[in-house]
Chains A and B, each alone.
Chain A
Amino acid sequence: MTSAIVWRRRRAAAGRLWDQFRSQRGGLFGLVILAVIVLLALLAPVITDPSGLDVTHATGGALKPPGDGFLLGTDETGRSVLLLLLWGSRVSLLVGFAATLLCVGIGTIVGIVMAHFGGWVQAVLMRVTDFFLVLPSLVLAAVLSTVLTPGIGSIIIAIAATAWPTTARLVRSQTLAVESRPYIERSWALGAGHWHVIGKHVLPAVLPLVFANTTLTVGQSIITESTLAFLGLGDPNSASWGEMLHNALQVGAVTARAWWYLLPPGLAIGVVVLAFMMCGRALEAVLNPRLRER
């Protein structure tokens, strides 16, 4: 009986949220773009032939401009740039989402634990967070991805390991704010344990913020992945957008003015990151009453 009420209330809240989100034109636009890109990424194996990614089956000439059956031209080994772009979206999105999940997970746990327990736990964790915060993240990510066994997994870990402190601090401050409210005190008085307070009260109150933060972090993770790949630290076994840019630069596409090899991955990164940013900002505005226009 009570759970039915809870669910009805949650549905109503979600509905309100959606209404407010819908009223933000930028956010909606970003969401539509994202939906299209994610759909294309998921459908890539269905709508294209993956054997075209194998250089030994490539049919085109080297660095041919768009036309002649290749909508976006070819790369240096005669593969279709459009095909690479489509398949690259899978890697970029996968790394973006996985790294964000990992980084937000670590950040949320560390942040809540810090604020909730306080004392020496906070002192220790805070110093660790600060330590990671002051390290130049790109350099750390570059070092990590070289030290770990090369591959997508290491890149995800490298990005997550460098991006979590911001989330942790954000979550910590939000937790502090939530825990100072009277209803938490009432819980304590009624005999709630740590688990109950964190699970039933703090986490639900912090999650919206975490969610908005996640959307923004995905964009950043995609950029970091592309940067690492561009610097030659990516995984050459999978065609990501950063990897495409890296290869383009390596073969001298700039000198050859092969814009069709350089622009698409660059623009794709820009568009996806922009879409995530738009969604994230809109979410933030919806979830944070102070940012909401009244």
Chain B
Amino acid sequence: MRIRRLGIGVIAMGVAILSAPVVHAQDTAQPKILRVGVTGTYATMNPFTAYHLGDTEVGRVMYAFLTSYSQQDYSPAPGLADKWQVSSDKLTWTYHIRSGMKWSDGQPITAKDVAWTFNKIMTDKTAATANGNFVTDFDTVTAPDDSDVVIKTKAPQATMLALDIPIVPEHVWSKVTDVGKYDNLQYPVVGSGPFTLTNFTQGQSITLKANPDYYGDKPAYDQLEFRHYDNEDAAVQGLKNGDVDVVSGLTPTQYAALQNTPNITVNKARGGRQNDLLVNYQAQTNTNQPVGDANPVLKDPKVRLAIAQSIDVKTLVDKAYGGLAEPGSGMVPAVFGTWHWSPDASQEQKFDLTAAAKTLDDAGYQKGADGVRLDKSGKPITLRLVIDSGVPNENASAQFIKGWLGQVGIGVTVQALSSDAVTDAGSKGQYDLQLNGWTGNPDPDALLSIQICANRPDADGNGNTENFMCDPQIDALYKQQLSETDQAKRVKDVKDLQARLYSLDSSIVIAYPNVLEAYRSDRWASFGLQPAQGGSITHQNGYYGYLLAKPVDSAAAGGGNTGLIVGIVVVVVIVLGGGAFLLSRRRRASADERE
């Protein structure tokens, strides 16, 4: 009897599924939603502490910035400030804030909000977590009136039109006592960007509503939604089923497979991200206390050189990235043209396993009985290579690196950890080698700032360093480029810095992967790509991808609905059939069991 009721329940559920969408379809005033399938980490919506790629992307649509990067070519463009001027000594910048702007709660946006945000980052160490690099040389930031912000710097600063800092409302944030603990989830979250955050459920979804008070273009739809998927294949299935409209971060395999899928259009763009292999040889806190448990053999530059010589970036691009990446060299990705550096013939540490073996032979690391070289104390050299088990190409890259290093006599054990555990191991220096990646800005400052001594972590592991880099030459070059306002000279500094970094073999850059994304072309006609030619929809240095998304006209959208109804009918038939089958089977089974 109980079993039978279950069967009826299944049928009732089927009927419910059948009837629900019919009501739905009649409702014409449905909000138009752009759904984005994402797989990465979304940790916090607090713009002062958000530095994960996903968090900053949401921050970009929630808050306006003082200036922005143009959609066309990343050149500086107006943001909250519509004009600006700099004094002849290059030390005083005056920004004019456009008038009549409002926060999403109706309060006016003034120069005071801007000044408050910058001052907060300058005075509160926690508030400087994400964007502290922009204000280290600031002397004072003041707002003499509601429409002018005056920033005085201690030295000329090259990034004054690339201050990548979300401006927050003073009337909300001045009441926050501890910025580090504030989750910024008082819905709707008061913001100034094109969208307002209305819900954030970690690991599930992020919902943002179009902000009618935004000063710029208004989106052509009502709601932006980020939906979390556990893995990329699930996200792609979501795209195929129509659960989401845009999916980013495709693997090369998926990209190739989706090229021939109806109703789906793929987009490929040069990426602003660099993926590299970290060699942990100087893990220390910002007070020079050694941390971590790296193999001391890595302190020998010859060993690091041999590792660099054992890595064939071209093969990695071909095999681990399916050819959809640019081979790596300098820290700054090739897409940022002028700032990108690549070694000349005399500097290049070419892939050459024989040379790598010779480097190690000359340095006195002899092979032991099993072909693994011994360190100076006679122990076999085995290095841990930490990878993120959730990042598709890292396992393949790791297998290649393991293979090559094995051939020159360095043992490698791959450790696949969850992304949280990788971050943790990274900040504590608990790795020998690690696959990593950072996304750059059109201005190279932020990407270079992760290589200076001051950004090494404190005793608690809080800091914004990539690989504990601390080198006087790099620090000097970093300072020099930041205060250099002559573009040509700054380019030279930035390139010199990358050359120095390259010669230290601390972060061996493997590739600049392409951004691979796909969207439902039966629902969305176009997106605002950045750069406008060959750019990407997601992970921009802007919000144009989402802001300028254009839905296809409603007539065409009807087709999607028919498909949905047909799909539901099919599902219901299957469910009903299955229910009936289950019922009859159960009955037969119970007959068999009767004595």
Q: Which residues of A contact B (CB under 8 A)?
A: 54-58, 62-63, 76-78, 146, 150-151, 232-237, 246-247, 249-258
Q: How far is B395's CA from A236's CA once the two chains are assembled, in angstroms?
A: 8
Min C-beta distance of A170 to chain B, whole Å: 25
**Residue pair B231, A77 in contact (C-beta under 8 Å):** no
- Asked, given contacts A76-B396, A232-B390, whether A255 binds B258 with beta carbons under 8 Å apart, the answer is yes
Q: Could you say which residues of chain B place their CB within 8 Å of the CB of A233?
A: 389, 416
Asked if B256 lies at the interface with its beta carbon under 8 angstroms from chain A, I say yes
**Residue pair A237, B413 in contact (C-beta under 8 Å):** yes
Within 8 A of A (CB), among B239-286: 250-254, 256-258
**Residue pair A150, B415 in contact (C-beta under 8 Å):** yes
Q: Could you say which residues of chain B place their CB within 8 Å of the CB of A63?
A: 253
**Residue pair A252, B418 in contact (C-beta under 8 Å):** no
Q: How far is B395's CA from A150's CA once the two chains are assembled, in angstroms?
A: 15
Asked if B319 lies at the interface with its beta carbon under 8 angstroms from chain A, I say yes
Q: How far is B421's CA from A254's CA once the two chains are assembled, in angstroms?
A: 27
Within 8 A of A (CB), among B209-261: 231-233, 236-237, 250-254, 256-258
Asked if B36 lies at the interface with its beta carbon under 8 angstroms from chain A, I say no
For the side of the interface on B, what is the size category?
A: 35 or more
Among B237, B387, B395, B417, chain A packs the most CB atoms within 10 A around the CB of B395
Asked if B398 lies at the interface with its beta carbon under 8 angstroms from chain A, I say yes
Asked if B76 lies at the interface with its beta carbon under 8 angstroms from chain A, I say no
Min C-beta distance of B293 to chain A, whole Å: 12
Asked if B203 lies at the interface with its beta carbon under 8 angstroms from chain A, I say no
Q: How far is B156's CA from A34's CA once the two chains are assembled, in angstroms?
A: 74
Q: Could you say which residues of chain B place their CB within 8 Å of the CB of A54?
A: 403, 406
Contact of A254 among B237, B252, B390 (CB under 8 A): B237
Asked if B140 lies at the interface with its beta carbon under 8 angstroms from chain A, I say no
**Residue pair B417, A150 in contact (C-beta under 8 Å):** yes
Asked if B119 lies at the interface with its beta carbon under 8 angstroms from chain A, I say no
**Residue pair B392, A251 in contact (C-beta under 8 Å):** yes
Among A58, A150, A233, chain B packs the most CB atoms within 10 A around the CB of A150
Q: How far is B392's CA from A77's CA once the two chains are assembled, in angstroms?
A: 12
Within 8 A of A (CB), among B525-541: none
**Residue pair A56, B251 in contact (C-beta under 8 Å):** no
Given known contacts A146-B418, A236-B414, what 17 new A-B pairs fall within 8 Å (CB)?
A57-B403, A62-B253, A76-B319, A76-B322, A78-B319, A150-B416, A236-B389, A236-B395, A236-B416, A237-B402, A247-B396, A250-B231, A250-B395, A252-B236, A254-B237, A256-B254, A257-B257
Number of A-B residue pairs with CB-CB distance less than 8 Å in the complex they form: 96
Q: How far is B406's CA from A236's CA once the two chains are assembled, in angstroms?
A: 15
**Residue pair B257, A255 in contact (C-beta under 8 Å):** yes
Q: Could you say which residues of chain A place their CB within 8 Å of the CB of B480?
A: none
Instruction: Report the nearest B residue to A147, measured CB to CB.
Output: B421
Q: List 27 A-B contacts (CB under 8 A).
A: A56-B404, A56-B407, A57-B403, A62-B253, A76-B253, A76-B319, A77-B399, A78-B319, A150-B415, A150-B417, A232-B389, A232-B416, A234-B416, A236-B395, A236-B398, A237-B402, A247-B395, A250-B232, A250-B251, A251-B251, A252-B251, A254-B233, A255-B233, A255-B257, A256-B254, A257-B257, A258-B253
Q: How far is B396's CA from A58's CA once the two chains are assembled, in angstroms?
A: 12
Q: Which residues of B contact A (CB under 8 A)?
A: 231-233, 236-237, 250-254, 256-258, 315, 319-320, 322, 387, 389-390, 392, 395-396, 398-400, 402-404, 406-407, 413-418, 421
Closest 6 CB pairs between A and B? A232-B389, A56-B403, A252-B254, A256-B257, A252-B253, A252-B251
Instruction: Report the nearest B residue to A237, measured CB to CB.
Output: B414
Instruction: Report the nearest A residue to B419, measured CB to CB.
Output: A232
**Residue pair A252, B417 in contact (C-beta under 8 Å):** no
Q: How far is B252's CA from A197's CA once the two chains are assembled, in angstroms?
A: 65
Q: Could you say which residues of chain B place their CB within 8 Å of the CB of A257?
A: 257
Q: Could you say which residues of chain A place their CB within 8 Å of the CB of B413?
A: 151, 237
- Asked, given contacts A146-B421, A251-B251, A255-B258, whether A55 binds B233 with beta carbons under 8 Å apart, the answer is no
Q: Could you say which residues of chain B place their CB within 8 Å of the CB of A146?
A: 417-418, 421
Min C-beta distance of B354 to chain A, whole Å: 14
Min C-beta distance of A233 to chain B, whole Å: 7
- Asked, given contacts A54-B403, A250-B232, whether A255 binds B253 with beta carbons under 8 Å apart, the answer is yes
Instruction: Report the nearest A residue to B239, measured CB to CB.
Output: A255
Q: How far is B237's CA from A222's CA once the two chains are assembled, in angstroms?
A: 28
Q: How far is B322's CA from A235's CA once the two chains are assembled, in angstroms?
A: 24
Q: How far is B256's CA from A251's CA once the two chains are assembled, in angstroms?
A: 11
Min C-beta distance of A43 to chain B, whole Å: 23
